[in-house]
Chain A
Amino acid sequence: QVQLVQSGAEVMKPGASVKVSCRASGYTFTNYYIHWMRQAPGQGLQWMGWIFPKSGDTNYAQKFQGRVTLTRDTSSSTAYLELSRLRSDDAAVYYCARDGVSGGAFDVWGQGAMVTVSS
């Protein structure tokens, strides 16, 4: 079945970088945009950016420009999010999702990866 499986929880120190993976299966990875969102505890959803796996093209939310990098490995059908210069308010669950329909309709989501930032 079509699914996205993310890497596990991470505990990071302030100022460090974290890299979260998102492995796709059950469909042609290169044909669909992958988007990344995050959700801080008790808060709403926040979009971070997208990557188009076929070309590697990316687009980042203004809020995260300069701190976020999206990459992909087509040989393993895996997308990656790296967030640098971590702060305490970056603690959140990070989700990847496939844009399967169009116009930001995310029809398949990863299970989420919790990132804790603590000294």
Chain B
Amino acid sequence: QSVVTQPPSASGTPGQRVTISCSGSSSNIGSNAVNWYQQFQGLAPKLLIHNNNQRPSGVPDRFSGSKSGTSASLAISGLQSEDEADYYCASWDDSLDDYVFGTGTKVTVL
């Protein structure tokens, strides 16, 4: 089981704001950058947010990331039907010397 936990699911109607939490510890999120990935069914993940709150080129600005202490969050504002996907946070863990992914959150657009 992962040392970084996320809620298994989140949902919202089109246009709403959805927030996904990512809870870790001092050895991972508390001391390293958090990255977020978006994965559609049957496809490879895509980098959505890096270094806590930086968007790669081409990622819409309705996706935003933040970090505080040993937790991080991904917010999707103005939710759209094409945002329906799985989302994973990830960070290095200094104690394990491993890169750890969160448990993943499935976002459903109602």
Contacts and interface: CB of A to CB of B under 8 A. Distances in A.
Interface of A: 35, 37, 44-47, 50, 59, 61-63, 95, 97, 101-107, 109-112
B59 to A, nearest CB: 11
Say what secondary structure dominates the interface of chain B: strand
Interface string B46-89: 11001100101000000000000000000000000000000010
A95 B45 CA distance: 9
Contact of B50 (A35, A62, A105, A109): A105
B45 A101 contact: no
Interface in B74-110: 88, 90-92, 96-104
Contacts of A105: 33, 35, 47, 50-51
A104 B45 contact: no
B101 A106 contact: no
Most interface-central of B37, B46, B97, B99 (chain A CB within 10 A): B99
A33 to B, nearest CB: 11
Most interface-central of A37, A62, A105 (chain B CB within 10 A): A105
Contacts of A101: 47, 50-51, 54, 56
A107 B98 CA distance: 18
Nearest to A99: B99
B27 interface: no
A60 to B, nearest CB: 9
